[in-house]
Structure 1
Amino acid sequence: MDPEYVLGMYEKAVPASLGWPARLRVARESGFDYVEISIDESDERLARLRWSADERRALARAVSETATPVSSMCLSAHRRYPLGARARSVRARSLDIMARAIDLACDLGVRTIQLAGYDVYYEPSDTGTRKRFAENLARVAEMAARSGVLLGFETMETPFMDTVEKAMRYVHEIGSPYLGVYPDIGNLTNASLRSGSPVADDIATGGGRIIACHCKETVAGAYREIAFGEGTTDYDGALAALVEQGVRRFVAEFWYVGSERWRQETSAAAAFVRARIEAALIGRGLSRPPAASCARTS
């Protein structure tokens, strides 16, 4: 029987020194169904956008050999090269990054690309940056539509797009079936703490346009490198709202921080997130998903 949901592992959960075959095997052995590749603002990961055909085929072989797909991409490179930047050269680079990311996604079998919800990051946001962001976002949506790759905004830690409701303003403005929301429920919890509005209410504003979800642990004012179970993320409210909408793709976002027990921590993270997703499914009257096994595929 097909699984009722799939759970991905964020690439940065394991040491960067691992090659792709080892990274994919660890994900599968730890209880994940797929891996989310990172294209962040570092030169090292930006270089992946210029991988040769042989380098792309090497990753495809590793996927085949390990039966562990690379099904999604976290594209945070736009923090360094934002779509709303004041400098024309930076905006041109941002569009080039997007075009190359979509091309890489097509070659690797990536289905969804998570976009960082920033108009700008290292410069002040204003009417001009927001206008340029929207103009270039329309171009980005056209690129995705031609290739059939889904794009989803990550809800971030800055006021520009820290809620699903704010992301949906741009989703509605662009009006493309290839642009939706890919929220981070840890970030949403922090936004909820500031506003006093329940996370589930915010998620409800994205009905029908949420394509996947990042499950991440946070506490008030802190967004990274917090172990699962040690934060305040509202898993119950967020996941209940997401599964009710039909969301069935999730990624556990966590980081390798040098621990000698990282293998055990990776397995523990998969078990922790699966338990919360399955509780949400059961709470909505859906049948329990099958237990994770190496036979599962995305």
Structure 2
Amino acid sequence: MNATASNRRNFLRQATTAAAIAAIGSAIPTNSGESAAAQRAAGASPDKLQLYKAVKWGMIEGAPTVLDHFQICKEIGYDGMELISPADFSAEEVRKASDATGLPVHGLVDMKHWDVRLSAPDAKVRDEGVAILRQAILDCHAFGGFSVLLVPGRVNGADENHDHVWQRSIVGIRQVLPLASKLGVRVLIENVWNGFCETPEQLRDYIDEIDNPWVGSYFDIGNVVKFSPSENWIRTLGSRIVKLDVKDWSTTKGFDAKIGEGDVNWAAVREALREIKFSGWCTAEVAGGDREWLTDVAKRMDQTLLA
């Protein structure tokens, strides 16, 4: 990839971080006086990562309304919210809940990307996937967020092999980039168990082939342990990483391993993140639960990533 594209990507990541700091600087969780994120932004130790915590929307149980979702996360000490698209709530509800709690929306997940895939053999399905992604970008902007998490496809037989996923998804993603750049919403590729880009070099080259500053990596720390150490992926992807999904994984418990109790080498992950000068959002992606469970998840994120 040329130097100009790399410089654009670095500029966008710096701008994203600055926006995150500005957005959460006034978030005041009731249980701690001042948000952990605001404290870190104001005077963090140079050895500690500047990270902002969230959880997946579906993890928050016992919250019948949008405001309840926000309120629970604020009281526990999370720094912001990640939503979903399509959703059964309105942008007005989200904006009011964000204003009431001081918690920003950092992004959302395209919830249809597995079933309506950009890599599907049927061109009509691919077109539908592009339309869904475009709507997710619009929803994200309406909610006040700045990224859409996307799984670009799935290796699924002879009619949907690795090369198909690579080429078809890139065609689809490029169709939404004018809108993404206009609204300031980044399309971030998550690494999952979909048979696609199972080495860090492949994912690096995939993002580089798209060669657009509005596309980056939503790096899932736990998803890659099956293939190779997470810290190796971090160093290879470097500034392509815009956000983190946080989970653990072990050969004995799989994804049932709690954060900090699996095979992820968290000390090595922290060191690799420092090496690439990462700062930004990290969102837990584990089993959901009640307030007590979500409190434990927050503590585990602090213990593993902010130790």
- Answer whether TM exceeds 0.5 for this pair: yes
* Range into which the TM-score falls when normalised by the shorter chain: 0.7 to 0.9
The one-letter amino acid paired with 1:125 is N
| Pairing partner for 2:190 from 148, 154, 166 | 154
| Pairing partner for 1:34 from 56, 80, 93 | 80
RMSD: 2.3
Residues 216 and 252 of structure 1 are in contact (CA less than 8 Å); yes or no, is this contact kept in structure 2?
A: yes
1:254 aligned onto 2:300: no
What's 1:90 paired with? 125
Structure 1 residue 100: Cα displacement = 0.4
For the structure 1 residues 138 and 119, does the alpha-carbon distance in structure 2 shift closer, same or farther, using more than 3 Å as the test? Answer: farther
The one-letter amino acid paired with 1:271 is K
Q: Distance in 2 between matches of 1:127 and 1:16?
A: 43
Q: Distance in 1 between matches of 2:277 and 2:128?
A: 35
Q: Distance in 2 between matches of 1:221 and 1:87?
A: 38
Deviates more, 1:66-75 or 1:126-135: 126-135
Q: Secondary structure at the match of 2:282?
A: strand
Where in structure 1 are there 5+ consecutive unaligned residues?
A: 40-45, 193-197, 280-298
What's 1:74 paired with? 109
Deviates more, 1:234-243 or 1:91-100: 234-243
For the structure 1 residues 269 and 15, does the alpha-carbon distance in structure 2 shift closer, same or farther, using more than 3 Å as the test? Answer: same
What's 1:186 paired with? 222
Structure 1 residue 6: Cα displacement = 1.0
| Pairing partner for 2:140 from 105, 113, 128 | 105
Structure 1 residue 85: Cα displacement = 1.0
What's 2:15 paired with? none
What's 1:10 paired with? 56
Q: Secondary structure at the match of 1:5?
A: strand
| Pairing partner for 1:210 from 217, 220, 241 | 241
1:228 aligned onto 2:228: no
For the structure 1 residues 222 and 80, does the alpha-carbon distance in structure 2 shift closer, same or farther, using more than 3 Å as the test? Answer: farther
Residues 186 and 223 of structure 1 are in contact (CA less than 8 Å); yes or no, is this contact kept in structure 2?
A: no
Q: Count how many residue pairs are aligned between Structure 1 and Structure 2.
A: 259
Residues 116 and 155 of structure 1 are in contact (CA less than 8 Å); yes or no, is this contact kept in structure 2?
A: yes
The one-letter amino acid paired with 2:271 is A
Q: Secondary structure at the match of 1:228?
A: coil
Where in structure 2 are there 5+ consecutive unaligned residues?
A: 1-38, 43-49
Structure 1 residue 126: Cα displacement = 4.8
Residues 95 and 143 of structure 2 are in contact (CA less than 8 Å); yes or no, is this contact kept in structure 1?
A: yes
Q: Secondary structure at the match of 2:153?
A: coil
Provide TM-score, normalisation by structure 2. 0.76
What's 1:167 paired with? 203
Structure 1 residue 111: Cα displacement = 1.4
Residues 155 and 162 of structure 2 are in contact (CA less than 8 Å); yes or no, is this contact kept in structure 1?
A: no
Q: Secondary structure at the match of 2:61?
A: coil
Q: Percent identity?
A: 22
For the structure 1 residues 148 and 222, does the alpha-carbon distance in structure 2 shift closer, same or farther, using more than 3 Å as the test? Answer: farther
State the Cα deviation string for residues 100-155 of structure 1 (Å, max 9, x = none): 00001111111122211424569742544432222212223333223221121111
Q: Secondary structure at the match of 1:32?
A: coil
Deviates more, 1:182-191 or 1:235-244: 235-244
Provide TM-score, normalisation by structure 1. 0.79
1:275 aligned onto 2:303: yes
State the Cα deviation string for residues 191-235 of structure 1 (Å, max 9, x = none): 21xxxxx32222111122110111112223876454334422232
Q: Secondary structure at the match of 1:153?
A: strand
The one-letter amino acid paired with 1:59 is V
What's 1:244 paired with? 275
Residues 157 and 223 of structure 1 are in contact (CA less than 8 Å); yes or no, is this contact kept in structure 2?
A: no
Residues 144 and 178 of structure 1 are in contact (CA less than 8 Å); yes or no, is this contact kept in structure 2?
A: yes
For the structure 1 residues 117 and 186, does the alpha-carbon distance in structure 2 shift closer, same or farther, using more than 3 Å as the test? Answer: farther
Q: Secondary structure at the match of 1:182?
A: strand
| Pairing partner for 1:264 from 292, 299, 303 | 292
Structure 1 residue 83: Cα displacement = 0.7
Structure 1 residue 174: Cα displacement = 1.1
Q: Distance in 2 between matches of 1:242 and 1:85?
A: 34
Structure 1 residue 77: Cα displacement = 1.6
Q: Distance in 1 between matches of 2:198 and 2:105?
A: 27
The one-letter amino acid paired with 2:123 is R
Q: Distance in 1 between matches of 2:132 and 2:181?
A: 16
Q: Distance in 1 between matches of 2:164 and 2:242?
A: 29
The one-letter amino acid paired with 1:180 is G
Q: Secondary structure at the match of 1:118?
A: coil
For the structure 1 residues 222 and 116, does the alpha-carbon distance in structure 2 shift closer, same or farther, using more than 3 Å as the test? Answer: farther
